[in-house]
Structure formats: C-alpha cells, structure tokens
Structure 1
Amino acid sequence: MKKYAIRNRVSAVVTALATAAMLFASVGASAQTKVGFVYVGPIGDHGWTYRHDLGRLAVENELGVKTTFVESVPEGADAERVIRKLATSGNDIIFTTSFGYMNPTNKVAKQFPDVKFEHATGYIRADNVSTYSARFYEGRAVLGTIAGHMSKSGVVGYIASFPIPEVVRGINAFVLAMQKVNPDAVVKVIWVNTWYDPGKEGDAAKALIDQGADIITQHTDSPAPLQVAEQRGVHGFGQASDMSAFAPTAQLTAIIDDWNAYYVARVKAAMDGTWKSIDTWDGIKSGMVGIAPYGPAVPAKVRAAADAVKQSIIDGSFHPFQGPINDQSGKQIVAEGEHLDDGVLLGMDYYVEGVQGELQ
C-alpha cells in the first residue's frame, strides 16, 4: 500500500509540475507577444475603426497580450512610416486595417521577414503577409431587401467612399436585392473620396435627400449620414456597427463587422507557432458579418423578408449575385441559374442596372 501511495504522490507532483510549466509557458508567451494595429480612422468613429479596435481589445482580454495601435493614419507615405515603426518596436504581428495600406504593408514586410503582417481587404500576400476581409456584400443584400420594401419614393441614396471593388460590390448587391422587391427602384450614388469625414458625409446625405431619396445608406465610417436622416425624417442604415444611438428613429438596421474571433485566432496562431500566410473572406455564416437589431420602423413582414434572405445566404440557397443580372447599360452579364464567382467579384469595376450616375 505504501508503494502505491508513494507512486500516486509522485505522479501527482509530476502532473502538477507539468501543469505549472504549461501555465508559466503560456503566461510567458502572452507577456512576450506584442501586437500592433494601424487604423485609417479614429477609434471613436463608431464605424470601421471602432469595430477593429473592439477586436484588438478582445485580443487583450482573451489572450493577455500587449497591443499597440496608431489611429487616423492616412493611406500613403505616412502609413509606411507607421508600419515600419511598429515593426522596429518589436511587434510580432501587425494588423493594417485599410485597403490603401496594401503596398506599404508589403514593402515593410519584405524588410522584416520575421514579423507577421495581416492586411485587411487587400489581395497581395507573401510568406509573412496574410490578407483578410469580410463579405460585406452579403449584408448589403439584406439591407437592400429592407429598402425595397420600405422606400416610398423608390429612390435610395448611397454615400460611397472610394471606387474600389469592395465598395462597388456593396452598391451592386444592395440594388440587386432592392430590385427583387421593387424592380423600378433606383440607387443614386455620391462619391466622397474619404473613409471618414463627418462633414462631407453629412452634406452628401443632405444632397441625396434633396434629390428624392427617402432612405440613406453608406460605405463611410461616421454616423453623420444617419444623423442627417434622423433630422430630415427619413430612414437609413448604419455602417460597420450598430449606430442606433445616433439615430434611434431613422436607423432601420446596420451591417456589423465582427473581427473579434479572427483577431484572437490569428494572434493565438502567432503565439503557438502555427501562423501561416492565408487569405480569409468570410461572411454572415461565420459571423464576421452581422446584422444589427431592426429599428422600430421596420414592420414584421419586412423583418421576416430580411431574415429569409439572411438565412438563404447562410444555407447557400441564395447568392446575392445570382442571375439574371444586367449591367448598367442593360446588357445581361449573368444568366438565370448562375452567379458571379469570387474572382469576378474581387475585381468588380462596373455598376449593375438600377444604379444611377457614372462610376468614377
């Protein structure tokens, strides 16, 4: 009996030591790992950058690592300088969170092969550069469905940032979904050539409302367009996060960008040595794209219609770019029963039928 007791005590001690070693190793890895983020807007924009910063905070809370961020970094030479400074400051993995950071990210990555880089919405990868984005166009299809049901004028205003494929896809997905409900509905677009400028965004919303739009949507980052909608008695959609606090009556719903799980997973992979260069493009099904609670103005039947579109995207029975689809000139580009593949979507540079104005 004594032999068994001694053996059990030894086994318990060994197990405890092993557990302690693993714990200390984990704590050590957390303490040593440094993570950097570069933001195109302020963390208080309540949109794009705000949601990325929530992901950064999730990394700190769940993994206990040290993070650093630099906000309001212009796309261009300033971005390269900031990214390089984060690399020279000992960051192990750096997230650069805007399309215009693509070339600066890859330039710096070549100079720091031991640092891991993650670039949002870009398409250039390297051994130490991953790319990631979300299928925001899926969310636009849900919003377009609501707009088709609720617009009385049949005119929706769209405030667009830059004419890159990501933004053009969103406009087209929105109008296609809207026209499935109301074939005569149209979208008027104003390009503001900025991601975040509350003044420009608000002025664009006013101009679109003056042109007959009774719903405003946006691919810019401040709540200013929704605030204008609230003041002018029309409806609108939030961008990247739930903006209902700024427009409790006007907001119908919002697309929510949820980066938390992705950021936690990628930093964890960097910590445990399993990080590899990958491309990620997830949507509603994975939770990377969410839909905010419906506002009080959305009737039950419209909520049901929007939920049905959302569910059909999740189960794969519907694709937002499912034919028949005509381009802006009326020429058919997708036949019935077919849909555009990812390659075409990633390079989309044209409007579909129902979008007014010229693509800049």
Structure 2
Amino acid sequence: MRNSSSDPSATAAAATVMMEIEASKPAGNGMVVGGLSPLSETLWRERTNTEFVGDVSARLTWKDLTVMVTLGNGETQNVLEGLTGYAEPGSLTALMGPSGSGKSTLLDALSSRLAANAFLSGSILLNGRKTKLSFGTAAYVTQDDNLIGTLTVRETISYSARLRLPDKMPWSEKRALIESTIVEMGLQDCADTVIGNWHLRGISGGEKRRVSIALEILMRPRLLFLDEPTSGLDSASAFFVTQTLRGLSRDGRTVIASIHQPSSEVFELFDRLYLLSGGKTVYFGQASDAYEFFAQAGFPCPALRNPSDHFLRCVNADFDKVKATLKGSMKLRFDASEDPLDKITTAEAIRTLVDYYRTSQYCYAARQKVDEISKVVSALCS
C-alpha cells in the first residue's frame, strides 16, 4: 500500500473535501443516537473495516448500473439501464416513479437484495469500495409491518434488542438504547400500548410503521433503505413518518426510500430526488431543483398542481390509456389546453426528458460527484 504523502495533491484534495464534509454535517440531538456511542462506533468499524479517522459515515455511489432479469421463456429484459447516482450522510433521498419504473429494483440492487434471476452490471461502492453490506452496517425496512400484535411497543423493541444486539453489551446499555430509540422515533406516548391485530385494538398505522423502523435502527446502521414507508398511511401519518426519516438522516445516517406519489408537504422533506421511468433516469439531483429541470425540458409545473403529481404525470404512460378510454366513451370532454402534455403522448414526453437529462448539467454534476467521492476515499485509504 503506497503512502499518501507521495501524492501531495491527492492528500490536499482529500483534506479539503473532508473539511467540507465535517463543516456541512448537521449537529446531532445530544443523545446517544445523535452519533455513535463508543461501543457502537467500535462495532461499526469492525463490521465495515473502515479506515476513516473520525468519520464512520456511509457514502453510497452507483455508476452505469444496469439490471437484467431472465424471464420464464428464457429471454432477458433490462429493468434498469445505465443509472448513476449517489447518497451521502445527512441526506434523505427519494426514489420515485410510476408502477413498473424500476424504483423497487433500484432499491433492491443498492441494498444487495436482488432476486436470483437478476443480473447486475456497473458498480455499486460503499465508501469507495466494492463490498457486500454486512449485518448491522445497513438496514432495510420492508413495506409490510411484520409485528407481533399482542406485544407492546416497548416489549417489541426490547425483544428485538435481546436477539440482535451483542451478548457482551451490558443490559444497562441495551436498555438505554431501547429508550433512546423510542424517543427518537416519537413513540413515547404509545410505548406501553399493544401493537394490535385484526381482533385487538392497538396503535395506528403510522405508529406501526415507526415501530418497524425502530427495530432496524437498533443496530445503529449508517445506511437505511425503506420500501415505500408511507404506503397505506393518511397524509398526517405519512408526513410524521417522513419527518422522522429526515431526523434520522440529520443525525449522520444515509437514508434512501422509494416513495409513491407523496403529498407536496412530504415531497419537500426530501433532499434529493431520483426519478425513474421504464428503468431509465429521468432526473437526479436536489429535489428543489426538479421544478427548474422540468421547466427547462419544456414541461413546467402548473401553478396549482402538486409538484410530485406533475413529475409522475409526465412519466406515467397509463395516463394516455385512461384519456383514450374516457375520450372514446365520451365520458370526458377535453377542451383546448396550453399544457404541453396535452399536445404529445407520454411516451414522447419520457423520451424528451430522458434525452434532456443525459445532456444536462444535472447528469454531469452527478457523474462528477460520484467520481469525486471515489477519488477522495481512495486518497484517504491509501
């Protein structure tokens, strides 16, 4: 292994970027869960074999990612094509797209949960290295809440802690971790209420979702994946869950969630947006910059339309089928409109957006950032 001092420019660049990273980190909340306890930090370092000094964050990058599946008749089909992006500590990233767009496949690819008939090409790097995600380094929260209805919230989390946390960890520290997790997930008011099931009244759907997340963050993972965490929740519960995820990211975690048609309030809580259609990248960048991107591409968001609804409307081909059906049955009258989407098919809009993104500053910035993260990590670990 060569000494980094032989390359002063690389060392200087790494030092500069690390200073920027440290300066941009939001302050923790002062509890054990804000950062890592000494024991948790030691365990995390052992799991990841990280060589960072004073930094146990997870920086995930993917470049030219393509996923191909083998169909029942032996033929193959690309479900993801040439995707490039990244997720950093302190950020909440949304994977969004219509049904069949590939957002769940992307989430599975990044979390190493692809099906046996799926084949991946391209690179996925964690802290600049090609490595398998070990237990405790990353956590995955499924869409369904698989909980025991007769246990209380505190009992559920305690049960998980006894099974998953190291045996050498003192029970006093485990108990402190349980209580801090309950506080972190905003479950204090229902901590002693049973989960509930079909014949036993218990906590609400939003609270169940937060319990599911609490079970996964017990291991203090630095990388958190969630499959449609707001699915099936009312607007208030969806906002509360997403706000909780935002809080987790602000404590230095890297949080990536697939999400389906969020409200405008929920959408504004995300830092970055990865919008997909047909397995291709429509947009990746700051969520707040998506408005400008669509306007530049020729599809500005109308004043009274929910931005996330507009983005999905532009890339969901099912709208064409619905309009054609209603128009043919004379159940819907279409008046003249200035909306660009009424003048072309959705397939044409998707092609326009995909092609525009490929040559845009947003695509260039994403690829440059991915390369920069890899170079900095290589310099630090050399």
Bigger CA radius of gyration? 1
Q: Give the TM-score normalised by structure 1.
A: 0.26
What TM-score do you get using the length of structure 2 for normalisation? 0.25
RCO greater where, 1 or 2, for CA within 8 Å and sep 6 or more? 2
